[in-house]
C-alpha cells in the first residue's frame, strides 16, 4: 500500500464510517487485546456484527479509549474508571468530583508511604556503603529485611 493512499484511522472521515478493532487500537495507542479486555470488563461496548461482515468502531469508541487511558495515567483503577464512565454525560460533576477527591486522598497517602520507603531504603543503602569489608560479614540491607519486621514502619 503506498503512503499517498494511506490515511490514519483517527481521522474523522474514517471513524465516521467506522473502523476495525485493529484500526481503533492503533488510533488509541493500545493493543487489540486491550480493547477486547475493556469490552469484557464493560468499559467499552462491543458493536453489533452485521451478518457476513466485521464489527465497526466509531469516534465515540475512540473517545472512550482516550478517557480510559487518560484516567489510568492519573492512577485511577479500572473499577474507578467504570464508575466515572457512568457519569460520562458530564451532568454529574459533583459525583465525578467526589470520586476524584477520594482518589486524590489515596494518592496523597501513597506519597507519604513512598516518602517513608525512600527514607528507609536510603538509610539501608547508606549502611551498605559503609560496610566496606569484603566479603561483608552481614549485609545490612539483607539483615534488616530478614530480622527487622518493623523496618518499613
pLDDT (tens digit, 9 = 90+) per residue, 70-95?
Answer: 999 999 999 999 999 998 877 888 99
Residue 57 and residue 17: Cα distance in Å, rounded? 9
pLDDT at 8 over 50: no
- Asked if 79 and 68 touch (Cβ cutoff 8 Å), the reply is no
Question: If you average pLDDT over residues 96-102, what whole number do you get?
Answer: 94
Question: If you average pLDDT over residues 121-137, what whole number do you get?
Answer: 83
Per-residue confidence at 59, pLDDT binned at 50, 70, 90? very high
pTM: 0.73
- Asked if 123 and 148 touch (Cβ cutoff 8 Å), the reply is no
Delimit the domains of the chain by residue range.
1-86, 97-153
- Asked if 124 and 144 touch (Cβ cutoff 8 Å), the reply is yes
Percent pLDDT > 70 in the chain is: 88
What pLDDT sits at residue 44? 94
* CATH fold for domain 1-86: Multidrug-efflux Transporter Regulator; Chain: A; Domain 2 (1.10.1660)
Amino acid at each position: 500500500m503506498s503512503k499517498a493512499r494511506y490515511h490514519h484511522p483517527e481521522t474523522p472521515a474514517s471513524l465516521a464510517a467506522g473502523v476495525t478493532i485493529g484500526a481503533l487500537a492503533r488510533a488509541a495507542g493500545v493493543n487489540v487485546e486491550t480493547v477486547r479486555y475493556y469490552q469484557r470488563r464493560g468499559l467499552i461496548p462491543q458493536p453489533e456484527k452485521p451478518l457476513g461482515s466485521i464489527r465497526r468502531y466509531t469516534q465515540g469508541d475512540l473517545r472512550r479509549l482516550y478517557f480510559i487511558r487518560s484516567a489510568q495515567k492519573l492512577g485511577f483503577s479500572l473499577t474507578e474508571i467504570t464508575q466515572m464512565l457512568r457519569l460520562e454525560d458530564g451532568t454529574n460533576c459533583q459525583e465525578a468530583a467526589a470520586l476524584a477527591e477520594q482518589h486524590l486522598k489515596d494518592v496523597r497517602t501513597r506519597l507519604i508511604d513512598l516518602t517513608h520507603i525512600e527514607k528507609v531504603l536510603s538509610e539501608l543503602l547508606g549502611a551498605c556503603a559503609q560496610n566496606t569489608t569484603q566479603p561483608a560479614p552481614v549485609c545490612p540491607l539483607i539483615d534488616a529485611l530478614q530480622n527487622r519486621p518493623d523496618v518499613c514502619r
